[in-house]
């Protein structure tokens, strides 16, 4: 249902009482609530506002005895580490403290209060518990919002730990008690609500004209005015006069009383009425939120925005800004260093074109009044609370399949279809029907290399060839791709050579997290891969983006080498699509900067932290091989390896990037060495404590073979042919995985702690058994040789300890867990260069130490079985090894609901009556890679029935969780086997 116009909120013969709950996240919610409340009061009703916002936000606009303000905070929103970055773990922890632990008392208090004021309707923007309290009090409730907290928190749960998942479930269930949702433009998926009414923008009205506001400020019409609106400035940020172009002035919202501003910056009062000031300005500079976006659109004000990291409503509001030609994205680094000029000049050249309604406050108030009187807007559809328990966690944020419309994930469009609403997916249509899928190799001369018949490489070359096509932004409906393509279109000089490398992701068949302990691993390169195109140009011929050019001009040094990167698919993960830097930033005098400095450099803007995987390869080549880069470098990164699914998306990006850079600069580096160098990128610059198997498989793997490698540190012992009767699949659980996550790191630390303890136990045993100074032997070794004990006292890799020795001498002596501080006091260090022990944290030790010792044995057995005679017993034994590995992960704390569910589905399929009668087709499954989500590896017989069963599992999983898993099947060559392409545009092609 959509309501565009309203004749106003007619005064009702019945005096109504509204309880209006406002979330504790920022002023944006309070400011839009003001407009709805104002219209309700104009209609003669009482409104009790429950809020944590200052009184002036409401009283400056509403002076009425019918407004009652009750200062209570019932949720905390998103906790911000600074003005631009959300602290995901802190957000969940604070919500737990604010709304979960005191939940019973909150409900009791709110029910009593609602009854005491005789509320006719509860309105929430968008406090979850308000809906539940209303239901328990027997009062109808309605939400008014553009996002809901279940959606916002869903990804936080994946990043901060599954133990917070109950928060998301509880929020979704609370919302399900709401009668319907009044949905504002720029909305996120909100399937917890069974019925939806769309209204126009809710925008505060103007009190003064542009001319009146400027006159009051003493600013003439010919002065360019920007309003700086961050809701609190980034910490440690000092504004400088030179940040503004000549003749510009800046109005600063939220400046502290003690903050001194340059003469061209004007400090606004805390209670200044910003709509008038926004309308009086020529553009706005700030962070995206509903309030800033709605007012920028309503007043046709260009908006220069800086990404707000980890706040999941942003992509939807950003798309709306850009659709109406109202937005310009600024890189955070340029914000903080004052390179504002190119962005401001670009902004005032825009012609915002929003013509939609801006009376959403009036329309919403009318709907609320009619609902309170008794009108029924809701259908009799059953609320989706039960369906959502898994779907909200396993759904949108964790799905991110390339080509899927980010506005309408599949599980959400299914919910829409239940209400008979149209849910197209323009992105999918464009990718399926558009020219990107057509295969053409006539656009480039291939001067070196071979396409090897790979369709994804042909498609990548086709997309390269289309970059210099002039896009008609008015006719092209795919705005998100437009932005990436426009940036990429200026990357390359088409008269010069371009170098292309390709590196696949990998399916961890066996070995997984035992790689850092020295295990044998078996890995299969998958069909999905990353392509990177690189071109080097003399700095004087390099085409720079406007902000990069402005930065160089400000230095006054003439052209210097610059790195410019475009990464496709940025909208699928809310990250910046472009990155650029002066290559001199990698130098500290005559030497490359340290890895620690580089890690800090890339971490300063989380929306561009992805660039560490790409640009970090350059610094590693400088540091480890002494390479010096004298030319500018342009890079285009296009990866089909899905992120967060445990199939090494990061390794494929690193290996493809380094391979392409090496080719462009004439560097001859073996695939093995490329893998080792890329591991340094991830360990030391990105800061993820991964082992080396991912990079080795991406670099050294071959299609339809398992790479067998002993990770001590990286000895490839051969390629194992996958027997023709055996097949491997990967099934994505939908739960996001990251080797940078806390669980993976703590398990790794536990394993290294166990190794240190084992060595200490062996040393103690050895010292008691060796002759003393007087020649006496204190403790004869009867069953265990001194040589073995000596080897174990200097154990270099945990996997070199055999299971029987471990069980006989060490297993029972290892603690289940230990406090970091206690371990450090006794052992000083755990001897792992890429992880740091937190003294206040308790680490599990025995299970993480058990796993690699037994996993190494399982992998060896698995490798031997692959070459044995084909039989059902062979497949059964291989499958059993996978199952054992899976449960060992769980013992370490690296399991997840989704992966466990998939493994159970495989077991049910394997042991079901149809499978038994047909000799079985699926035989085993295990969680892969770093665990805590990601993908499950399945082994089965290579036949049509197996593929059918995989599809059946896919649909059963969707039925149970609401999420349709991505299936990985097929293999492709590693980067070493692919080599590189050197291509050039033929002269005849324009």
Strands 80-82 and 46-51: unpaired
Phi, psi of 154 (to 5 degrees): -55, -45
Q: Do 596 and 452 belong together in one domain?
A: yes
Specify the range with the lowest mean pLDDT, choosing from 40-44, 305-309, 782-786, 895-899. 782-786
For residues 88 and 160, what is the distance between their CA atoms, to the nearest angstrom?
A: 7
In a domain, 86, yes or no: yes
Chain centre distance of CA 122: 34
Beta pairing, strands 248-252 & 224-229 = parallel
Q: What is the Cα–Cα distance from 348 to 281, expressed in whole angstroms?
A: 10
Kind and range of the H or E element at 125? strand 121-125
Give the pLDDT confidence score for residue 727 in this predicted structure.
96
Collapse the DSSP code of 631 into the 3-class scheme (helix H, G, I; strand E, B; otherwise coil) and give the result. coil
Q: Looking at per-residue confidence, does 270 or 468 come out higher?
A: 270
Count how many residues are written for the chain.
Answer: 990
The dihedral through the CA atoms of 466, 471, 475, 478 has a sign that is positive
Q: Is the pLDDT of residue 429 over 70?
A: no
Region 525-531: what's the mean pLDDT?
97
Using DSSP, state whether 981 is helix, strand or coil: strand
A 10 A CB-CB count for 990 gives 7
**Tokens (6 digits) for 608:** 């561009």
CA–CA distance from 439 to each of 400, 458, 469, 621 (Å)?
25, 6, 17, 34
The parent domain of residue 324 ranges over: 210-352
CB 159, CB 173: distance < 8 Å: no
236: region left, alpha or beta (phi > 0 left; psi from -120 to 50 alpha): left
Mean pLDDT confidence for 864-888: 95
pLDDT band at 439 (very low <50, low <70, confident <90, very high): very low
What's the pLDDT tens digit per position in 145-191?
Answer: 999 998 888 767 766 655 677 788 888 889 989 999 999 999 987 87
Annotated catalytic sites, by residue?
Answer: 694
In a domain, 909, yes or no: yes
Output 308 or 371, whichever has higher pLDDT: 371
CA atoms within 13 Å, Cβ hemisphere of 134: 27
Whether the upstream peptide bond of residue 713 has omega within 30° of 0, thus cis, is yes
Positions of E strands within 434-519 = 445-448, 498-510
Q: In this structure, what token pair is assigned to residue 973?
A: 């060559």
Q: 359 lies in a domain?
A: no
Q: What is the pLDDT of residue 771?
A: 63
Residues 517 and 848 sit within 8 Å (Cβ to Cβ): no
- Give the separation between CA 145 and CA 365, rounded to whole angstroms: 13
β-partners of residue 198 are 2, 183
Compute the 3-state secondary structure of the chain and give helix, strand, coil in percent, each to the nearest 5. 45, 20, 40
Tell me the mean pLDDT in the region 229-243: 76
Q: Which residue, among 502, 533, 834, has the nearest Cα to 685 in the 3D structure?
A: 834
- At residue 223, φ and ψ (nearest 5 deg) are -85, 135
What is each CA distance from 67 to 88, 177, 886, in whole angstroms? 35, 26, 59
265 domain residue, yes or no: yes
Q: Do the domain assignments include residue 117?
A: yes
- 461 and 548 within one domain: yes
Can you give the pLDDT at residue 165?
Answer: 72
Q: Please give the structure tokens belonging to residue 647.
A: 């199939």
4 in any annotated domain: no
Same domain, 62 and 182: yes
Long-range CB contacts for residues 414-421, cutoff 8 Å, separation at least 24: 414/962, 415/191, 415/384, 415/387, 418/381, 419/195, 419/196, 419/379, 419/381
Summary mean pLDDT of the chain: 85
Of 259-268, 427-436, 799-808, the one with minimum mean pLDDT is: 427-436
CATH code (residue 895): 3.30.70.890
Cβ 228 vs Cβ 250: under 8 Å: yes
- Looking at 471-576, list the stretches that DSSP marks H as alpha helix, in order from N- to C-terminal side: 479-489, 546-555
Q: How far is CA 719 from the centre of its chain?
A: 34
Residue 736 lies in a domain: no
pLDDT, tens only, 561-620: 999 999 987 765 567 788 999 999 999 999 999 999 999 999 888 778 889 999 999 999
Q: Are residues 152 and 278 in the same domain?
A: no
Same domain membership, residue 580 and residue 457: yes
Reference 974, options 507, 311, 373; nearest CA is 507
Q: Is 368 found in the same domain as 346?
A: no
For 917, phi and psi rounded to 5 degrees? -70, -20
Q: Rounded CA gap, 548 and 550, in Å?
A: 5
For residue 229, the number of C-alpha atoms closer than 13 Å in the C-beta half-sphere is 27
Per-residue model confidence as pLDDT tens digits over 797-819:
999 999 999 999 999 999 999 99
pLDDT of residue 549: 84
Q: How many CA atoms lie within 13 A of 542 on its CB side?
A: 29
Measured over the CA atoms of residue 456, residue 458, residue 464 and residue 470, the dihedral's sign is negative
> What's residue 243's pLDDT?
95
Tokens of 580: 């650029």
Q: What is the 3-state secondary structure (H, E, C) of 866-927?
A: HCCCCCHHHHHHHHHHHHHHHHHHHHHCCCCHHHHHHHHHHHHHHHCHHHHHCCCCEEEEEE
Selection from 189, 255, 224, 474 nearest residue 347 by Cα: 224
More confident site: 302 or 692: 302
628 and 491, same domain (yes or no): yes
Q: Give the rounded percent of residues in the chain with a pLDDT score beyond 90.
A: 63
Both 580 and 680 in one domain: the answer is yes
Residue 238 belongs to domain with CATH number: 3.40.50.2000
Residue bearing tokens 């540190």: 713
- Does any domain span residue 603? yes
Output the pLDDT for position 441: 54
* pLDDT tens per residue across span 244-257: 999 999 999 887 77
Token pair recorded at residue 430: 């464009």
In a shared domain, residues 304 and 238: yes
Helix axes of 426-433 and 479-489: crossing angle, nearest 10 degrees: 50
Could you give the C-alpha distances from 606 to 11, 16, 25, 321, in angstroms and in order?
A: 50, 47, 21, 22
Q: Count other Cβ atoms within 10 Å, centred on residue 559.
A: 14
In this structure, the answer to whether residues 177 and 98 fall within a common structural domain is yes
Whether residues 244 and 263 share a domain: the answer is yes
Number of domains in the chain: 4
Judging by beta carbons within 10 Å of its beta carbon (0-12, 13-18, 19+), is residue 451 exposed, middle or buried? Answer: middle
pLDDT digits 0-9 by tens, 712-746: 988 999 999 999 999 999 999 887 765 555 588 99
Q: Among the three residues 326, 352, 378, which one is the final residue of a domain in this structure?
A: 352
- The CA–CA distances, whole Å, from 107 to 18, 168, 534, 650, 836 equal 18, 18, 59, 45, 42
Looking at the structure, tell me whether residues 229 and 343 fall in a common domain: yes
Residue 162 has what pLDDT?
56
Query: What's the pLDDT score for residue 47?
Result: 98
Count of beta carbons in the 10 Å neighbourhood of residue 104? 8
More confident residue, 797 or 963: 797
- Tell me the pLDDT tens digit for each residue of 283-322: 999 999 999 999 999 999 999 999 877 777 888 898 899 8
C-alpha separations of 970 from 472, 524, 729, 900 in Å? 37, 9, 8, 23
CA 816 vs. chain centroid, Å, equals 33
pLDDT confidence of residue 234: 53
Mean pLDDT in residue range 477-502? 79
Q: Determine the Cα–Cα distance for residues 629 and 768; give it in Å rounded to an integer.
A: 57
**Cβ atoms 751, 848 nearer than 8 A:** yes
Write the CATH number for 490: 3.30.230.10
Q: How far, in Å, CA of 236 to CA of 335, rounded?
A: 13
Q: Quick one: pLDDT band at residue 422, thresholds 50, 70, 90?
A: very low
Up-side HSE of residue 543: CA atoms within 13 Å toward CB?
A: 12
What tens digit of pLDDT does each residue of 402-417 get?
333 333 333 333 333 3
Cα–Cα distance for residue pair 382/194, rounded to 1 Å: 7
């Amino acid at each position: 249902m959509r309501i565009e116009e309203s004749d106003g909120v007619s005064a009702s013969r019945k005096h109504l009482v509204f309880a209006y709950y406002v979330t504790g996240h920022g002023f944006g919610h309070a400011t839009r609530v003001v407009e709805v409340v104002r219209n309700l009061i104009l209609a003669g009703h009482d409104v009790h506002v429950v809020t944590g916002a200052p009184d002036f936000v409401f009283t400056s606009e509403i002076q009425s005895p019918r407004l009652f303000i009750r200062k209570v905070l019932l949720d905390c929103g998103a906790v911000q580490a600074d003005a631009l970055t959300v602290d995901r773990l802190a957000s969940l922890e604070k919500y737990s403290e604010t709304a979960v632990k005191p939940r019973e008392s909150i409900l009791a208090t709110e029910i009593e209060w609602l009854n005491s004021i005789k509320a006719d309707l509860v309105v929430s923007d968008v406090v979850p518990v308000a809906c539940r309290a209303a239901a328990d009090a027997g009062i109808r409730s309605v939400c008014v919002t553009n996002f809901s907290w279940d959606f916002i928190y869903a990804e936080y749960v994946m990043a901060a730990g599954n133990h917070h998942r109950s928060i998301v479930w509880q929020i979704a269930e609370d919302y399900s008690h709401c009668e319907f949702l009044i949905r504002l433009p720029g909305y996120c998926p909100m399937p917890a609500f069974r019925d939806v009414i769309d209204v126009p923008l809710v925008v505060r009205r103007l009190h003064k004209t542009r001319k009146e506001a400027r006159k009051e400020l003493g600013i003439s019409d010919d002065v360019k005015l920007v309003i700086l609106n961050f809701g609190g400035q980034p910490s440690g940020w000092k504004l400088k006069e030179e940040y503004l172009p000549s003749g510009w002035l800046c109005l600063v919202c939220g400046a502290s009383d003690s903050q001194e501003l340059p003469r061209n910056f004007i400090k606004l009062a805390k209670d200044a009425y910003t709509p008038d000031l926004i309308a009086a300005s020529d553009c706005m500079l700030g962070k995206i939120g509903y309030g800033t976006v709605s007012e920028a659109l309503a007043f046709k004000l260009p908006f220069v925005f800086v990404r707000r990291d980890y706040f999941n409503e942003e992509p939807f509001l950003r798309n709306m800004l850009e659709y109406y030609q109202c937005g310009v994205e600024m890189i955070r680094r340029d914000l903080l260093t004052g390179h504002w000029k190119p962005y401001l000049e670009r902004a005032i050249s825009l012609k915002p074109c929003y013509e939609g309604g801006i009376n959403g406050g009036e329309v919403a108030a009318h709907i609320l009044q009619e609902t309170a009187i008794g009108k029924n807007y809701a259908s009799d559809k059953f609320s989706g609370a039960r369906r959502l328990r898994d779907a909200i966690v396993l759904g949108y944020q964790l799905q991110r399949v390339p080509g899927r419309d980010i506005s309408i994930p599949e599980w959400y469009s299914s919910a829409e279809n239940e209400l008979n609403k149209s849910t197209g997916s323009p992105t999918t249509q464009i990718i399926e029907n558009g020219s990107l899928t057509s295969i053409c190799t006539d656009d480039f001369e291939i001067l070196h290399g071979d396409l090897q018949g790979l369709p994804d490489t042909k498609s990548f070359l086709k997309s390269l060839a289309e970059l210099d096509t002039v896009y008609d932004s008015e006719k092209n409906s795919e705005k998100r791709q437009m932005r990436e393509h426009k940036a990429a279109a200026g990357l390359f000089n088409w008269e010069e050579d371009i170098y292309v490398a390709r590196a696949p992701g990998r399916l961890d068949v066996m070995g997984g997290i035992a790689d850092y302990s020295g295990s044998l691993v078996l890995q299969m390169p998958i069909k999905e891969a990353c392509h990177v195109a690189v071109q080097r140009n003399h700095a004087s011929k390099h085409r720079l983006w406007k902000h990069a050019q402005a930065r160089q001009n400000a230095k006054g040094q003439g052209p210097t080498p610059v790195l410019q990167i475009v990464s496709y698919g940025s909208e699928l993960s809310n990250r910046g699509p472009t990155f650029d830097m002066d290559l001199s930033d990698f130098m500290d005098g005559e030497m490359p900067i340290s890895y620690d400095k580089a890690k800090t450099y890339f971490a300063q803007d989380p929306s561009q932290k992805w660039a560490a995987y790409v640009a970090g390869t350059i610094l590693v080549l400088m540091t480890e091989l002494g390479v010096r880069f004298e030319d500018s470098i342009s890079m285009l990164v296009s990866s089909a390896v899905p992120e967060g699914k445990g199939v090494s998306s990061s390794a494929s990006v690193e290996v493809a990037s380094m391979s392409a850079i090496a080719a462009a600069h004439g560097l001859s580096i073996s695939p093995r060495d490329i893998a080792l160098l890329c591991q340094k990128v991830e360990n030391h610059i990105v800061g993820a404590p991964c082992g080396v198997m991912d990079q080795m498989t991406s670099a050294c793997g071959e299609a339809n073979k398992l790479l067998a490698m002993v990770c001590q540190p990286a000895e490839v012992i051969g390629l194992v042919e996958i027997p023709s009767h055996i097949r491997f699949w990967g099934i994505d659980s939908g739960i996001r995985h990251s080797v940078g996550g806390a669980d993976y790191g703590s398990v790794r630390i536990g394993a290294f702690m166990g190794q240190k303890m084992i060595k200490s136990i062996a040393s103690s045993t050895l010292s008691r058994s060796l002759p003393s100074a007087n020649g006496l032997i204190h403790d004869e070794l009867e069953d265990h040789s001194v040589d073995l004990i000596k080897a174990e006292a200097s154990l270099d890799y945990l996997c070199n300890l055999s299971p029987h020795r471990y069980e006989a001498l060490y297993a029972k002596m290892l603690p289940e867990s230990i406090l970091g501080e206690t371990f450090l006091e006794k052992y000083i260090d755990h001897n792992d260069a890429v992880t740091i022990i937190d003294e206040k944290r308790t680490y599990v030790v025995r299970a993480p130490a058990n796993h690699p010792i037994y996993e190494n044995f399982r992998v060896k057995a698995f490798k031997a079985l692959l070459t044995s005679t084909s039989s059902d017993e062979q497949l059964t034994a291989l499958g059993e090894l996978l199952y054992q590995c899976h449960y060992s992960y769980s013992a370490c704390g690296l399991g997840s609901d989704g992966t466990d569910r998939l493994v159970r589905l495989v077991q049910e399929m394997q042991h079901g009556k149809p499978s038994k009668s047909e000799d079985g087709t699926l035989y085993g499954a295990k969680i892969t890679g770093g665990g805590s989500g990601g993908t499950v590896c399945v082994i089965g017989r290579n036949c049509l029935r197996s593929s059918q069963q995989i599809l059946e599992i896919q649909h059963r999983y969707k039925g149970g969780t609401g999420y349709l898993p991505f299936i990985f099947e097929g293999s492709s060559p590693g980067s070493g086997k692919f080599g590189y392409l050197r291509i050039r545009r033929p002269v005849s092609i324009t």
